[in-house]
């Protein structure tokens, strides 16, 4: 029932002014840019969007502005990153996202207690689903253990899918593990909405029943992501586009963390505003920015 959410999503940057407050005047400009370059939708306040750095009130005003994209792009889908270590804040954010008309919530597990059990995680997610997600609305888990220290196991996914079939949609898989992509496909086939978080793995994930992707590089490389997606929809593959994505991912991984690089590149390569970063993130050094831009241009 969640097939409508399949596709290519950008893990959207968050426009910020120099005072570190959201640059609301640029939110629609960025989403319009992404829509015009082949994205089916965008995830706000994921890792690339510096989500954990923002207060509930800051996220709310950006989400409130973002839904206006539907005035020019009625079919553009919006997902909100609403997971925090606080159950109460996660409930508040998730409820707000659905009340504003977002298509789904992508929810990190409660990080900090890295050794938490599947039983504990199930109880936590069950509370979020029961109290914040109406039937037909879509909640996805966000599996990024390198950042959170907490894995969302296939066993936990099975329990959530069986327990909440009309509300638990699937997972954003940012493990970067090709074997895990295979295991997800074997365990669920097309019954689980699986969105890959790694551009390099898009073709591989799609061959293993993934539903699309949510990636940082979609801020720059969504045309190639869309070429791979469209080819897969035709039962084909686009190895040339995937090769460019592989090369672009190599550049990204040489200049981590991603938000400083991507904010510099959209400004330098696509004439979008030069947005600030929330501390502790710092802008790229000028010589690194120039070098990275040359590397991306060479791929094209």
Of the candidates 47, 90, 94, 215, the residue annotated as catalytic is 47
Q: Is 111 a catalytic residue?
A: no
Catalytic residue (choose from 142, 148, 194, 215) = 142
* Structural domain boundaries in the chain: 3-234
Place of tokens 């509370």: 127
Please report the pLDDT score of residue 147 as a whole number.
85
Domain 3-234 classification at class level: alpha beta
The verdict on whether 95 is a catalytic residue reads: no
* Furthest C-alpha separation in the chain: 52
Residues 6+ apart with CB under 8 A from 189: 209
| Cβ neighbours of residue 128 closer than 8 Å, sequence gap 6 or more | 87, 90, 91, 94, 107, 139
- Which of these, 252, 289, 254, 280, lies nearest to 11 by C-alpha position? 252
Give counts: helices (H), strands (E), the chain: 12, 8
Q: How far is CA 52 from CA 56, 146, 228, in A?
A: 10, 15, 30
Does 255 participate in catalysis according to the annotation? no
Please say if 142 is a catalytic residue: yes
Which of 82, 94, 125, 172 is an active site residue?
172
Tell me the C-alpha distance between 296 and 279, whole Å.
Answer: 26
> pLDDT (tens digit, 0 to 9) for every residue of the chain, 300 residues total?
788 999 999 999 999 999 999 999 999 999 999 999 999 999 999 999 999 999 999 999 999 999 999 999 999 999 999 999 999 999 999 999 999 999 999 999 999 887 899 999 999 999 999 999 988 899 999 999 888 889 999 999 999 999 999 999 999 999 999 999 999 999 999 999 999 999 999 999 999 999 999 999 999 999 999 999 999 999 999 999 999 999 999 999 999 999 999 999 999 999 999 999 999 999 999 999 999 999 999 997
pTM to 2 decimal places: 0.96
């Amino acid at each position: 029932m969640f097939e409508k959410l399949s596709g290519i999503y950008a893990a959207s940057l968050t426009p910020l002014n120099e005072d570190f407050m959201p640059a609301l005047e640029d939110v629609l400009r960025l989403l319009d840019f992404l829509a015009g370059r082949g994205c089916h939708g965008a995830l706000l306040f994921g890792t690339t969007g510096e989500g954990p750095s923002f207060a509930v009130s800051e996220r709310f005003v950006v989400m409130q502005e973002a839904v206006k994209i539907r005035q020019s792009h009625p079919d553009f889908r919006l997902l909100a990153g609403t997971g925090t270590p606080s159950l109460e804040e996660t409930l508040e954010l998730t409820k707000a996202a659905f009340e504003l008309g977002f298509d789904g919530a992508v929810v990190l597990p409660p990080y900090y207690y890295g050794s938490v059990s599947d039983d504990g995680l199930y109880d936590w997610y069950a509370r979020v689903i029961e109290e914040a997600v109406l039937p037909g609305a879509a909640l996805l888990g966000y599996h990024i253990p390198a950042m959170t220290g907490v894995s969302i196991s296939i066993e936990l996914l099975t329990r959530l899918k069986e327990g909440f079939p009309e509300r638990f949609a699937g997972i954003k898989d940012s493990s970067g593990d090709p074997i895990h992509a295979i295991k997800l496909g074997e365990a669920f086939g097309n019954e689980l909405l699986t969105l890959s978080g790694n551009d390099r793995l898009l073709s591989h994930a799609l061959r293993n029943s993934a539903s699309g992707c949510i990636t940082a590089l979609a801020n720059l490389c969504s045309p190639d992501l869309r070429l791979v997606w469209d080819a897969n929809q035709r039962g084909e593959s686009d190895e040339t586009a995937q090769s460019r994505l592989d090369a672009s991912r190599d550049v990204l991984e040489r200049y981590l963390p991603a938000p400083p690089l991507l904010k510099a590149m959209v400004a330098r390569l696509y004439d979008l505003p030069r947005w600030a970063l929330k501390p502790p993130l710092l802008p790229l050094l000028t010589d690194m920015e120039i070098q990275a831009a040359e590397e991306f241009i060479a791929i094209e």
